[in-house]
Structure 1
Amino acid sequence: MSTLTGPAILPILLLCASNIFMTLAWYGHLKFTSQPLWIVIFASWGIAFVEYCFAVPANRYGYGVYSAAELKTIQEVITLTVFAAFSVIYLKEALTWNHLIGFAFIAIGAGFIFKGPIGAGH
């Protein structure tokens, strides 16, 4: 397996693709408020199916390389990154200092997940 698709990288790439589709499914319809809700629900459901086609293999391939908690943490950090870009580029919303500080605190929390048990081995 090449470095770009190695066991540690492949789940991250799949989670990136997954999160792009999920962000579209959850928030893409916000620009189509004139469409009936049932139509956007079914459209979002179809997009979410594609998201699952990336998320399930990401977790299947990633588990063992990463713990379940680490996979979830990777997914959440990717979600915030994709959402921040999506909200600025697609929804044309401002990314404020409040958002950046909040995301930074979440990133700090993610760092603790990957650090391992505090005090272990000391």
Structure 2
Amino acid sequence: MNGLYTILLLIASNIFMTLAWYGHLKLQQTGTSSNWPLFGVIAFSWAIAFFEYCCQVPANRIGFIDNGGPFTLVQLKVIQECVSLVVFTIIINMMFTGQGLHWNHYLAFGCLVLAVYLVFIK
């Protein structure tokens, strides 16, 4: 069950992370933040990133093998990277039209899935 909680928290964490990193660009496109100073954009992103850390830190603590979780540090990191790319792809395709995926993107994602498989081999 810790593995499931870890992955769900990583998904939530990466939603906040993607919004913190790229959401201000969408706000700029819509004109909401066009006149914000850089410090305002950074503060806005930090406010969102706070929630990312509120999910990321517990995910790693719950999922880490030394805390009773099922994953090693390497496994946690590779899972996080894959979750990050999947969440990024979904959010960016929802927020920014015209940012389609091409064959090389699918090939890169396949390589990441292969990386997850490889880190779980004993």
TM over 0.5: yes
The DSSP-based 3-state class of the residue aligned with 1:115 is coil
2:22 is the alignment partner of 1:21: no
Aligned residues: 111
Structure 2 residue ranges without an equivalent (≥5): 29-33
The yes-or-no answer on 1:82 pairing with 2:77 is no
Structure 1 portions without partners, runs of 5+: 1-5, 117-122
Shift of 1:36: 2.4
Shift of 1:32: 2.8
| Pairing of 1:13-52 with structure 2 (within 5 A) | 13-33=8-28, 34=34, 35-52=36-53
- Paired residue for 2:112? 106
Distance in 2 between residues matched to 1:25 and 1:109, nearest whole Å: 26
- Partner deviation per Cα, 1:1-40 (whole Å, 9 max, x = no partner): xxxxx11211111001000000000111112331322111
Say which SS state the counterpart of residue 95 (structure 1) adopts: coil
Normalized against structure 2, the TM-score is what?
0.86
Take 1:88 and 1:45, find their aligned partners in 2: how far apart are those partners? 23
Residue 121 of structure 2, aligned match among 92, 112, 115: 115
Over residues 39-71 of structure 1, what are the superposed CA-to-partner deviations in whole Å (9 max), with x where a residue is unaligned?
A: 111010011111000000000000011101111
Structure 1 stretches of 4+ moved >4 Å: none
The structure with more helix, counted as a fraction of residues? 2
Letter of the structure 1 residue corresponding to residue 2 of structure 2: P
Q: What does residue 55 of structure 1 align with? A: 56
